[in-house]
């Protein structure tokens, strides 16, 4: 049989099976049941916030949070150009406009130094994205937000448990949002969460999550809400994963350390960076190769595929998408990172031997490219 190393896979143990089976056996399969409350309480504790509200997905959590803050047509929301499309789409659902800001070359997160020039009197919120497991620079972002009286919604979909200094993501802005999609640090299959210390906002989001149903008059609705509820089955899976979160994050860190050991000496290679104020949870392994064009990056991915190694490219810049098209020159760092960057396998059951095999497959491919680059330099002199 041919070798196949997937990019990601969830880690499901007896504990997850037990909790999910409990919901099936009890008949509480929809959005009422003990696991929802337990999962919300424990997730809030984990993040260090007063409240957590479970949703049907991370995208739903983003939209619900924006709607609960009354972000609407005519408003502007600042987001990074390098992120998953959900960050942009959730803003668009509200009728507000996205304003795209470039990223930092090292952390791959929104560049605080470039945010101020994007602020106008229409700016209502910033959504920093903690990309690939590294937190955005919340210290600088919060200072700016305070000066301009702007909301900060952390998109922590990819960074459960990451920290800025000692404080966990989800507790660093006005609210945090998480995703529990199957490839995330912890999963519910599909699912999301909003975390916050703001009671009024929490109550509003809870109300809108359930079709804005009047709490003292069942089936009466004063405004348009949503069904963004999580099921008890998803919450049972989520609770079991949360009980194992330290183990899951430690495994991600171990995997990164091993890649680093094998790849860091190779000229032109950049792996995940960690700022001195941050704890990275290394959701995905990020490999960038100096001087790569998009085409060369794609060739490398094809060559790895032939060896049974699944990879994926960094996200396309949001400003390249037809519905959000902008001038490329405004976000050069995003565009450069995109064309150089790929994510390597980092699922929880990945063996040390598999990482060695991936790195042994990569090394000659990268070295040949660096050699050709060097020769081109000599020829052009
Ligand atoms: C940065 C980011 N934001 C939002 C989302 C949306 O989460 P979901 O897929 O659960 O809707 C994701 C994940 O997929 C993501 O990576």
Domain with CATH 3.40.640.10 in the chain: 14-243
Q: Give the residue carrying structure tokens 């590294």.
A: 134
Q: Mean pLDDT per segment of 10 residues, for the chain of length 381 residues?
A: 90 98 97 97 98 98 98 98 98 98 98 97 98 98 98 98 98 98 98 98 98 96 97 98 98 98 92 98 97 94 96 97 87 96 97 97 86 63 61
**58 touches ligand 1 (CB under 6 Å):** yes
At the top level of CATH, the class of 14-243 is alpha beta
Q: Domain 245-380 belongs to what topology? A: 3.90.1150
Report how far residue 238's alpha carbon sits from residue 361's, in angstroms, rounded to the nearest whole number.
Answer: 36
pLDDT given for residue 378 in this prediction: 60
**192 touches ligand 1 (CB under 6 Å):** yes
**86 touches ligand 1 (CB under 6 Å):** yes
Domain with CATH 3.90.1150.10 in the chain: 245-380
Q: Which of 157, 176, 281 to mutate to test the pocket of ligand 1 (most atoms within 8 A of CB)?
A: 157
CA-nearest residue, atom 7 of ligand 1: 58
Give pTM, 2 decimals.
0.96
pLDDT given for residue 159 in this prediction: 98
């Amino acid at each position: 049989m041919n070798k196949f190393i997937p990019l990601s896979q969830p880690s499901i143990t007896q504990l997850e099976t037990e909790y999910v089976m409990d919901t099936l056996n009890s008949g509480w399969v929809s959005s009422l049941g003990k696991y929802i409350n337990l999962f919300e309480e424990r997730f809030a504790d984990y993040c260090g916030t007063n409240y957590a509200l479970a949703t049907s997905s991370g995208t739903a959590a983003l939209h619900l949070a924006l709607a609960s803050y009354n972000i609407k047509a005519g408003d502007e929301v600042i987001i990074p150009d390098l992120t998953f499309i959900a960050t942009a789409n959730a803003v668009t659902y509200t009728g507000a406009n996205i304003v795209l800001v470039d990223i930092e070359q090292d952390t791959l997160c929104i560049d605080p130094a470039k945010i101020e020039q994007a602020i106008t009197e229409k700016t209502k919120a910033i959504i920093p994205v903690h990309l690939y497991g590294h937190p955005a620079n919340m210290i600088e972002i919060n200072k700016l937000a305070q000066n301009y009286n702007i909301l900060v919604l952390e998109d922590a979909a990819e960074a459960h448990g990451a920290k800025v200094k000692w404080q966990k993501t989800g507790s660093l802005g006005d609210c945090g949002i998480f995703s529990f999609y199957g490839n995330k640090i912890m999963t519910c299959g599909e699912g999301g969460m909003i975390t916050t210390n703001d009671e009024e906002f929490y109550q509003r989001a809870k109300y809108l999550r359930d079709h804005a149903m009047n709490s003292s008059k069942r089936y009466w609705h004063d405004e348009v809400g949503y069904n963004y509820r999580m099921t008890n089955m998803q919450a049972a899976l989520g609770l079991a994963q949360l009980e194992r979160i330290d183990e899951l994050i430690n495994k991600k860190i171990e995997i990164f350390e091993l890649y680093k050991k094998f790849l860091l000496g190779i000229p032109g290679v950049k792996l995940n960076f960690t700022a001195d104020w941050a704890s990275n949870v290394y959701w995905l392994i990020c490999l960038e190769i100096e001087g790569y064009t998009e085409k060369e990056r794609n060739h490398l991915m094809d060559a790895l595929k032939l060896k049974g190694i699944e990879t994926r490219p960094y996200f396309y810049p949001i400003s390249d998408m037809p519905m959000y098209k902008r001038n490329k020159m405004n976000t050069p760092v995003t565009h450069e990172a995109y064309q150089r960057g790929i994510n390597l396998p980092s699922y929880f059951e990945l063996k040390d031997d598999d990482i060695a095999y991936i790195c042994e497959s990569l090394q000659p491919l990268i070295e040949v490219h660096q050699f050709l680059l060097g020769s081109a330099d000599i020829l052009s002199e």
